[in-house]
Amino acid sequence: MTSNDDVDDFFNDMIAGDKKNTTLAKKLLQQQKHLESKPKEQISQPQQQISATQTITQLGTPQDVLQSIQKDVNSLSSEDRNVRRAGLLKIKSIIDTCAKNERVDVMAHVFSHIDHALVRLFNDQVEFLRESSCRLVITFVTHLTTEELGESYSTIVPAIHPRLTNKKEGEWWTESSEEVRMLLNSLLTLCVSKFPNALSHAHYSDNIVHILKSSYHDFHDIIKEACTCTITLCEKMPHKVHLFASILILAIKHNTSHNRSDVRVSTIRAIQRLMLHCRGQDVPLQEHIHPALHSMIMTEQSPSVRAAIIETAHVWIREWIEYFSFRHYILFYCMIGLSDELNDVRQESSKALLKAGDIYIKDNESEYQQMCEYERMHPIPQQDEALYVQHIGSLPPLQVRMLIRDVTHVKKCIDWLLEDLFDWNVYKRRNACRALTTLLLFTRQHITQHLHKLIPNYLLVCQEDEQDIKQECLSGFVQLSGRFVAPESYLTLVCSYLKPHYAASPQKMIDALVIMEYLLKGAGNENMNDASLQEIINQLVQSHLIHSDHLGVKLAVLSVVEVLSCLKCLNHVTGGELFKMFIVLQSNHAAQTTPRCLRALDSLAHASGHLHIHQLYKEHFDEALEFFLNDFETWNKTSVHLYSFQALLSHCPGECLVPHLHSQSKLAKVFLFHSNITLDPIVSLHVFAVMNNLLSNHGQLIINHQEFVKCVLSIISSHMVWKSGSVAAELRRIASACLSCLLRQGVVTGEMIKDLTPSIISALEEDTASVRAVTSVLIGDFIKSTCSYYDEKVWSDWTQVFTQQGLNDELDHVRLHVAKASLVLLNKMPSGQNRSMLLTALFVHIDDERQDVRQAVFDSLHEYGLSAKASGGAEWEEFASNLSKIRNKVIRAGELVRLLDINS
């Protein structure tokens, strides 16, 4: 096979102009490509390994080995790259064999003679030679001691520096190969480890710093190796690192936001060691490192990175004692770690805080002893201990709590956490929420002096878009604030957002009420007192709050009152105030508020020592009724007491009404006063609706109070008279409903209601469908009660309204009830033309389109037919005559058979 030298000579001849033997040229070119396609080590490695083994075993001494490779050492200076490669490969194979066989004596002797030649190859144009020479030097430095290496550092480090740096602007290094840069960084780390004293000289240390600054901007593996070199530098040259620690920290800090978590971990550990060697004003924690670590601990999703940060904090607390004034930064990281999802991180945070607490009490021994004595006399309640277990796993030692509640530390932490609480990053907001909750647990009542800053930010929490974060904030640090702080400390701050001028900004008031709700939830019975409770009630009963037309404001007020209703410290006065507030809250937006109000009233009853809500009504009903009726003569459609009065009587138990069911009671006076529609028809409508509700719910109770019944009848009579207008029509509808209740329960006699007959007949002729619908229900009972007072004209009027309007009404409901009432009218009216007309009309409607109406007609005819047949005479003849007319009428077979059976 043609040698590589032949190929080089041939191509040189070709360049000189000799263009003969082109066939040979092609052949040699193919052979050259074939050789280059193979790994260079494989070309002659077997032979080299054999010769190397023979050299070591046969020649034996280091001098003999060096002599055997002298030619190869000389070839490293050749201009022919293939010669340099062949020589380097032979040397490398021998040295690798020496390293494998632990012939350190041979390696030391050889390295002392070839170190310069190898280092020169760091600048070789061929990447393979640069890489192989680096690997070979690393082998020497790894296996040889410092004494055996001698002063080789003076050659190696200056050779590495120009390859890993670059004077050109915008470029960090001269070496283009990532693999070679990685090897050079590894070699630098070895040199720092082997020659710490020698490299501490300013010339070398400056070169190392320059190299590291460039390597911090390389690809991820090189960055990690540079961090390893930095840590080694701190360990081996502790007396020198303080001169350039700040420079390296500023150069490396950008890697705290690297996209690879392993790089971030290496960076944090490098910063950890560098920070321990900073001195005096050179400490860059506040300006440079804290913002980076702060951002990482709040947003980091990699557990290994979070663990590295907490580990760093622990190391700083343990070893950085002389600059412990910076501890508020370090404590912040540990406090965040206490709420971490990983148990290892939480435990490391606890250990770090405990160490910091031990250091703290050395300077505050007397205060610590006083606090120990205080906690011995006033132990932390079990309920509070449960909060610690819930949020951070256990109750922290006293020295840790004393450390964190230090004014400087708390103020700094609050500032940082409030800023993070409203950051755009969701993960940061969630961590800030948990950390603020942890801070509240440590500071307890000492947080009071910071409420002026916290409360405004609490209100902003209510605008949080993420509902889970919002709820965690409210049930976390907001509720804990109420737990540990006396109500009088925060009520003034919260109530400042409930002033009347905020009525134009309902959302601000809603937010303030939500915060008050959760503060009061945290306060519970232990922190609440009568003065604070009365102050809260006085704030809530303001018209722009409890009577607000904005549903959100009203529901927020209701939520606060619900919390108050569960307190055990209520007395008769405050209980009565809350009772009236629940009634008022039902007076508007009833569908949304009434169910919650009724449930809250039940809670209030139990909190007040009652077994049932009826007992609560019995205690406060008279007082509330008097309060709502004190201005009834001036009521209009906007009067809040009108609607509260309506809500009060909607759900009250009957026994509360008994003292007021007489003609001289204030309740009767209200009904009579507002029966005059000329005052305000809307008010009359609402008052009348209250009376209708009372009759529907408590009719049996009212039966025994005839004076009150007469009062009610007089009001009904005044409203049954037809008047134009939709309100008057609604009043007639309610009047009919009230009369229907009285008739069903047998409260009234015919004598009492006979004068209402024209109004009832007129109501069936109304254009208003709702009036006709309600009136049709009562006509059967009304005719039974008043028929003995009818003359011929009244019978005629009834017949006319039944046949012309009632049975032909467009409402199915009206036709149904008129058909049922027709049986009463047929049985009660005297024989004659009116009965014939009604009977004929019923037979006509035997084919009504509605099945239930047809059924009612059939039932009325069937009952009347049986009665007529039994009595005989003219009634039966008249019925039979009408029946014969429908034999050929197409009707339902079953119903026809029933009617024909009467005639059989």
Distance CA 281, CA 271 (A): 17
Instruction: Print burial letters for 459-470: b (CB count within 10 Å at least 16), e (below 16).
Output: bebbebeeeebb
Distance CA 224, CA 268 (A): 11
Neighbours of 631 (CB within 10 A): 12
pLDDT of res. 579:
93
* DSSP assignments along 224-284, one per residue: HHHHHHHHHHHHH-HHHHTTTHHHHHHHHGGGGG-SSHHHHHHHHHHHHHHHTT--GGG--
Contact 349, 310 (CB under 8 A): yes
Contact 360, 325 (CB under 8 A): no
Q: Which two tokens stand for residue 678?
A: 């000329």
- φ/ψ of 410, rounded to 5, equals -65, -45
Task: Measure the CA dihedral 655/661/666/668, to 10°.
Answer: 130
pLDDT of res. 3:
44
- Domain-wise residue ranges, the chain: 1-35, 487-656
pLDDT of res. 651:
86
Contact 340, 346 (CB under 8 A): yes
- φ/ψ of 634, rounded to 5, equals -110, 10
Contact 356, 327 (CB under 8 A): yes
CA angle 816, 820, 825 (to 5 degrees): 130
Q: What is the CA radius of gyration of the chain?
A: 50
Unique residue bearing structure tokens 């049709």: 776
Contact 669, 626 (CB under 8 A): no
Distance CA 186, CA 481 (A): 54
| C-alpha separations of 235 from 194, 270, 274, 316, 438 in Å | 12, 11, 10, 15, 36
Distance CA 101, CA 242 (A): 42
Residue 721, phi-psi category: left (phi > 0), alpha (psi -120 to 50), beta (remainder): beta
Neighbours of 884 (CB within 10 A): 11
Environment class of residue 534 by beta-carbon count within 10 Å: exposed (0-12), middle (13-18) or buried (19+)?
middle
Q: Which segments of the chain have a pLDDT < 70?
A: 1-60, 168-170, 279-286, 321-327, 407-408, 677-678, 872-873, 875, 883-904
* DSSP assignments along 185-241, one per residue: HHHHHHHHHH-HHHHTSHHHHHHHHHHHHHHTTS-HHHHHHHHHHHHHHHHH-HHHH
Q: Which two tokens stand for residue 666?
A: 């204030």
Distance CA 891, CA 639 (A): 58
Give me the long-range contacts of 463-467 (CB less than 8 A, separation at least 24). 463/511, 464/429, 466/426, 466/429, 466/430
Q: Which CATH number fits domain 487-656: 1.10.3470, 3.90.25, 1.10.10, 1.25.10?
A: 1.25.10
pLDDT of res. 9:
46
pLDDT for 88-100, tens place per residue?
A: 999 999 988 888 8
pLDDT for 831-869, tens place per residue?
A: 778 888 888 888 878 778 888 888 888 888 878 777 777
**Of 817, 751, 758, which is closest to residue 786 (Cα–Cα)?**
751
pLDDT of res. 659:
84
**Of 766, 763, 856, 783, which is closest to residue 817 (Cα–Cα)?**
856
Q: Tell me, what DSSP letter sits at residue 397?
A: P
pLDDT of res. 886:
63
pLDDT of res. 430:
92
Q: What is the pTM of this model?
A: 0.76
- φ/ψ of 809, rounded to 5, equals -65, 150
Distance CA 693, CA 480 (A): 45
pLDDT of res. 44:
43
Reduced 3-state DSSP string for 414-454: HHHHHHHHCCCCHHHHHHHHHHHHHHHHHHHHHHHHHHHHH
Distance CA 338, CA 367 (A): 25
Three-class DSSP category at 529: coil
| C-alpha separations of 406 from 336, 348, 409, 449, 629 in Å | 17, 22, 5, 12, 57
Q: Which residues contact 466 (CB under 8 A, 6 or more apart)?
A: 426, 429, 430
